[in-house]
Amino acid sequence: MYAAVRDHAYRDDREQPFHKNKKSTLMKPLGLGVLGLGEGRSIISAGVRSALWDVVCLCDTNARLAQERCAEFGVEQYTTDYEAMLADPAIDAIGIYTPDHLHADHILAALAAGKHVICTKPFIDDLSRARELLDAQVSSGKAVMVGQSTRFFEPFMRQREHYESGALGDLVTVEASYSADHRWFLDKPWARQAAFKWLYGGISHPADLVRWYLPNVSEVMGYAYLSANGREGGLVNPDTYHFVLKASDGRIARVTGVYSCPTVPVERDSPMTCILRCDLGASQADYHELHYAWTVGKQAAIESFESKRDYYFRFGGNSHHAGEYQNYIEYFARSLAAGETPRPDVREGIVTVALMQAMDEAAQTEQPVRIADLLGRYGLEGLLAETAR
């Protein structure tokens, strides 16, 4: 039988929105410092509304933007000096939301200052400093989590729960895509620099979703293309990608991303989606639609999470999605309290970057690239097997 679209009642402790100034009686709130206040706007919103966090200080090289964010969210302190923020003993963790090519330096500085780190995806923009970051995290004893926010969005959490229940059976293949008309993003001057690649800024979402279900992805091949719209907007690197991934056990997956073209109406095509095809059933999580669809045997349903739209999308239309950030910073806080490692951690972050770097090389050479070989070039032998357990 087929169930019509309905608002699903699925809830759990991870996703409950906390009200501003309501403090937890179970654990002391953690102090948060936020670096990078453009992309960092969502984590500020998440922190001020969470019972598990206190937003202590904001930092950006743009003092006017820092003042605006303080006024917007009721935060009292800001600075343009990252080192000054790192010296604040009231801060337990730094949220890093700066341009991709700056992440490594900012993570290393935070770890050296004895702070935990939450870093937006992509973790880093290449593997040249991956060993340095891994060693720094181990020696510091501090947690580093990559903010792969899509894992913490309602339909994708529901899909994961459904899959882990065993109802869908064994996984056969994964298809993940993220396509959107992001030409507006090119108004940011750094987005038109050679250091910026949609491969990392966009493909990191569906690539992470594939690795969530197939952590043993071992090889990738595919193609990339820079569209006329992208060239006109000042892009240096491709904005159109299609890849096929193969896991060490032979299973295959697909990842797609297109970023400078008009999109099909959401009634026909989700901008971001993950499809699991398993031996007993299949499922599809759709992002902006807040839908989760599944089929198991003769049963099928489409579950809607529309009632939570205001929790996830608080401002800026769909360009900011603070609810996901609140979910993952609260997961991070609870993990620390339980003595557990928040994931995706530094190792997973590095391997996902290795996957994207392999995609980049495959697109340039038009040849398959093995991820283990690529990791080996940077002294990271064994990391793929370690994260695939």
**DSSP β-ladder status, 53-59 and 77-79:** parallel
Q: How would CATH label the architecture of 151-315+341-387?
A: 2-Layer Sandwich (3.30)
**Tokens 């992309």, located at residue:** 39
CA distance 272 to 98: 23
Q: Which residues of the chain have pLDDT under 70?
A: 1-26, 319, 389
pLDDT of residue 5: 41
CATH hierarchy code of domain 13-147 = 3.40.50.720
pTM for the structure as a whole = 0.89
pLDDT of residue 388: 78
Q: In this structure, what token pair is assigned to residue 48? A: 């001020």
- How far CA 133 is from CA of 116, 118, 236, 382, in Å, comes to 13, 14, 28, 16
Q: In what order do the strands lie in the sheet with 171-179?
A: 2-7, 299-304, 291-296, 281-286, 272-278, 171-179, 252-258, 240-247, 217-225, 369-370
pLDDT of residue 324: 95
pLDDT of residue 8: 43
pLDDT of residue 17: 36
Residue 1's contacts (CB-CB under 8 Å, 6 or more residues apart) are: 298, 299, 300
Give the residue extent of every domain in the chain: 13-147, 151-315+341-387
pLDDT of residue 26: 61
